[in-house]
């Protein structure tokens, strides 16, 4: 399976062959769904925290005596029944959202979503992402010359500090190293712009 390779001016510079074992995998939607849901859950921070009646300040004194007032009996103004009181069954930061997923399943799902992008002609290969200066204008010009329309995930072979600094402010553009690629990140963007050297990195991940 071969795809076109583009240079920084947006011109075709030849073709590169993709491994069928990585970029032509049979798609199992149930597996992809399971992996993506687990990766979304693992990104949740779980920082929401509501105070219960023991954590809300105040309420140390009984608001009125138990009997004889004609009012309902209460022991604290910080009861969940009171405005400003504790929250019953509110979110707690102790909750863990992490979902474990086997490595084989995670890698299989990644191959499937990469294959889906190739079949939909949403994978663009470029020869390199070398920029003379880390300027956002240069990164924007580079991407605008490619046959893409919509959100773009740029996949580099290794840490490219210049291109990362130049492209991190672009709307609808994200940059990730090939070794950190996940099924969730692939599906979060319409187009994949893949550095030619990153193909070997991806194919080496599945050996």
- Domain boundaries along the sequence of the chain: 2-44+98-205, 45-96
pLDDT number for residue 131 = 84
- How, if at all, do strands 2-6 and 12-17 pair? antiparallel
pLDDT value, residue 76: 95
Residue 24, C-beta contacts closer than 8 angstroms, at least 6 positions apart: 1, 18, 115, 118
Residue 45: per-residue pLDDT:
86
Q: pLDDT value at position 185?
A: 95
Per-residue pLDDT of the chain (207 residues; tens, 9 = 90+): 788 999 888 888 889 999 888 898 999 999 999 999 999 999 988 889 999 999 999 989 999 999 999 999 999 999 999 999 999 999 998 888 999 999 999 999 999 999 999 999 999 999 988 888 889 999 999 999 999 999 999 999 988 888 999 999 899 999 999 999 999 999 999 999 999 999 999 989 887
Q: What is the third-level CATH fold of 2-44+98-205? A: Ribosomal Protein L4; Chain: A; (3.40.1370)
pLDDT of residue 46: 84
Write down the pLDDT at residue 132: 82
16 phi, psi to nearest 5 deg: -135, 145
């Amino acid at each position: 399976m071969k795809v076109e390779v583009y240079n920084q001016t947006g011109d075709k510079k030849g073709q590169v062959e993709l491994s069928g074992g990585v970029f032509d995998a049979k798609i199992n939607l149930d597996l992809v769904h399971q992996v993506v849901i687990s990766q979304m859950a693992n990104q949740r921070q779980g920082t929401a925290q509501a105070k219960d009646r023991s954590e809300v300040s105040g309420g140390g004194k009984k608001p009125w005596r138990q009997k004889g007032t004609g009012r309902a009996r209460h022991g604290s103004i910080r009861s969940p029944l009171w405005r400003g009181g504790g929250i019953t069954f509110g979110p707690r930061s102790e909750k863990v959202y992490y979902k474990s997923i086997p490595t084989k399943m995670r890698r299989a799902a990644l191959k499937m979503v990469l294959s889906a992008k190739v079949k939909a002609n949403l994978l663009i290969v470029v020869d390199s992402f070398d920029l003379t200066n880390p300027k956002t204008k240069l990164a924007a010009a580079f991407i605008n010359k490619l046959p893409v329309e919509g959100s773009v995930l740029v996949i580099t072979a290794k840490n490219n500090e210049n291109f990362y600094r130049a492209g991190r402010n672009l709307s609808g553009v994200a940059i990730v190293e090939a070794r950190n690629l996940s099924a969730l990140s692939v599906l979060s963007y319409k187009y994949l712009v893949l550095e030619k050297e990153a193909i070997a990195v991806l194919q080496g991940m599945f050996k």
